[in-house]
Chain A
Amino acid sequence: MLPTFRQSGDHALTLYFENKIEPDVNAQVCALCDSLNEKAIRGVTELLPTFNALTVFYDPFVISSKSLEKKLKKRFGNTSNSKKTTKRVYIIPVCYDEEFALDMNNVCAHNSLTCDEVIEIHSSQDYLIYMLGFLPGFAYLGGLDERLHTPRLKSPRTEIPAGSLGIGGNQTGMYPLASPGGWQIIGKTPLRLFDGERENPIFYSAGDYIRFKPITKEEFCLIYEDENASPEVEEVQL
């Protein structure tokens, strides 16, 4: 299916694929994004992939929206549908200890599960990063097991500590920065998900996967003290 084109102001053009949050749709977005990164169109200044759309920022001095649209259409026709053969998984250590899991009881009660069952289910799968947004490094993850779906808190917290891991409805994710928020907090990672001083301030990108690895409080403290700690990365055959 050909994407539809929509303009944003005087220097951004967005291609919308099917209007749904699905790995297949997101894969098309990422494939086009990769193709444009590999072989750039002159005048394109920045690319922003989201769940089901790719926004292409451009310099109107170099290219117009109209000719950019033409070039993108041509490119789209030529993008081979070769599916990726491997996926990159970032393994994020998470401590589900009650000290950090402020709302574990809510998640357990809502789904009639024990705490251990919640941890087991939550940490036993790979989550696709559909996109980054909302906060720097905030990953919108797909594929939360239905058994863990839990409505957001009725009244949001004014501050959730950086590194917190939560569940909001049918989504799960981590807060890279301290922020207000209404998600049910079930753990915390000792990694600095955002560090402006680091060469790469954010570890992962859209299209990568995340797996949560349960750790003890002692392990949490050890990793937390290491400012340069980074997640293990695994290349997995699809």
Chain B
Amino acid sequence: MSIEVLESGALTTVQDLGREGARLQGFGTNGVMDEASSRLANALVGNSQDMAVLEMTMLGAKLKFTESCYIALCGADMKPKINSDSVKMNKTYRVNNGDILQTGFAVSGLRAYLAVSGGIEGNVFYGSRSTDLKCGIGGFSGRKLISGDILSVGSKKGHIFNPNYAEIPYKEPSQSVTVRAVIGPQYDMFDDKGKNAFWFTPFKTTIQSDRMGIRLVGEEISAENSTDIISDAIVKGSVQVSANLQPIILMADAQTTGGYAKIATVITADLPLLAQLKPDAEVRFRQVTVKEAEREYKKFIRHFNKLSF
């Protein structure tokens, strides 16, 4: 079973839940930006949660299927069509040999996720099929898709499900979000004015945002001294403040280590909200305790593990 890429879209890559265990050597996690949409899409086609999907950014792809299978799209609404029929987001469809899925510009949100029953195949590196664009490893030849690529789809059958009932009401990703965060490792380096600016004033996303990080502008997050630190570990969601006193939320393609002070870390459950922000969207931060963060993490994972159709 394979999928032919007729048009690639702006930035379409193979991603799964990311790479663990290779940070020691300097490899970041990569993986989907919006874990919630990817998990949901997989659930809708009967896949396990960690299977690889296609992440499409801003402008979606046009794909041709060579065999019948189930597909589902979640995340940004790219006005999908199968052949000439409009189809819904968050709903399972059966496609047959020769069917063409067309997606366009994202009318809501930024990233759409396509899951295919059996999962997208791709190169495995340190246990993950996620594409690392910088190193050219994982996924489809370690790069973004281009037209003419032929993707393989796994034959592994998912669990038994009833595709007729597989649908979840679609909600457009918001462009004004409040994300929860715990205080970061260098929180004490910032002065009261800086801390207040961070927690109580809104920030805007800029065009310089990408899979590496979401760059924000807003009030200065002032620190007593320089925000340079002895380089230490970065995690997905780390909010780093560099010399210009503006925050960057580090995301899936972030480096493993960094040399700027981190004021906070966005919790895993709220990272999907950030993945869907276009430029000029609004972000606010709300402080939670570590205990709450851990509880929300478990709630987030449990929610998707329970999903079956």
Q: Write the residues of chain A forming the contact surface with B, with a CB cutoff of 8 angstroms.
A: 6-12, 14, 16, 19-21, 45-53, 55, 57, 60-61, 64-66, 131-138, 140, 176-177, 194, 196, 201-202, 205-206
Contact = CB atoms under 8 A, between A and B. Distances in A.
Contacts of B262: 8
Contacts of A133: 26, 231, 255-257
A9 B267 contact: yes
A12 B20 contact: no
A172 B127 CA distance: 32
Given A9-B266, A10-B182, A132-B24, A140 B231 contact: yes
Interface stretch (B53-61, B65-73, B133-141): B133-141
B49 to A, nearest CB: 14
Most buried by A among B22, B136, B294, B297: B294
Main secondary structure of the interface of B (DSSP, over half): mixed
A179 B14 CA distance: 23
B95 interface: no
B24 A48 contact: yes
Interface string B176-211: 000001111110000000000000000000000000
Given A51-B232, A53-B232, A136-B135, A46 B257 contact: no
Contacts of B23: 46, 48, 57
B260 to A, nearest CB: 13
Contact of B298 (A20, A60, A132): A60
Contacts of A177: 134-135
B33 to A, nearest CB: 16
A51 B231 contact: yes
Interface in B1-34: 20-27
Interface in B135-189: 135-137, 142, 181-186
A49 B231 CA distance: 11
A14 B185 contact: yes
B294 A206 contact: no
A53 B296 contact: no
Nearest to A7: B290
Interface string B255-285: 1110000100111110000000000000000
Most buried by A among B21, B26, B268, B297: B26
A14 B239 CA distance: 15
Most buried by A among B23, B125, B134: B23
Given A8-B184, A53-B230, A137-B25, 12 more contacts: A8-B233, A9-B181, A10-B268, A14-B185, A45-B20, A50-B230, A53-B233, A57-B23, A61-B298, A133-B255, A136-B135, A137-B26
A52 B233 CA distance: 11
A176 B24 CA distance: 15
B293 interface: yes
Contacts of A12: 233, 235, 265
A21 B230 contact: yes
B134 A61 contact: no
A50 B233 contact: yes
Interface of B: 20-27, 125, 134-137, 142, 181-186, 230-233, 235-238, 255-257, 262, 265-269, 290-291, 293-294, 296-298, 301
A71 B237 CA distance: 26
A55 B297 contact: no
10 contacts: A6-B185, A9-B181, A9-B293, A16-B232, A48-B24, A52-B230, A132-B24, A132-B256, A136-B26, A138-B26
Nearest to A205: B24
A8 B237 CA distance: 9
Contacts of A7: 182-183, 185, 265, 290
Contacts of B301: 61
A222 to B, nearest CB: 26
A132 B26 contact: yes
B135 A134 contact: no
A65 B233 contact: no
A136 B296 CA distance: 32
Sort A-B residue pairs by CB-CB distance and give the 10 closest, nearest first: A133-B257, A9-B265, A55-B233, A6-B185, A10-B293, A136-B26, A10-B297, A196-B137, A132-B26, A60-B294
A5 B20 CA distance: 22
A44 to B, nearest CB: 12
Contact of B24 (A49, A51, A64): A49
A212 B291 CA distance: 48
Contacts of B291: 64, 66
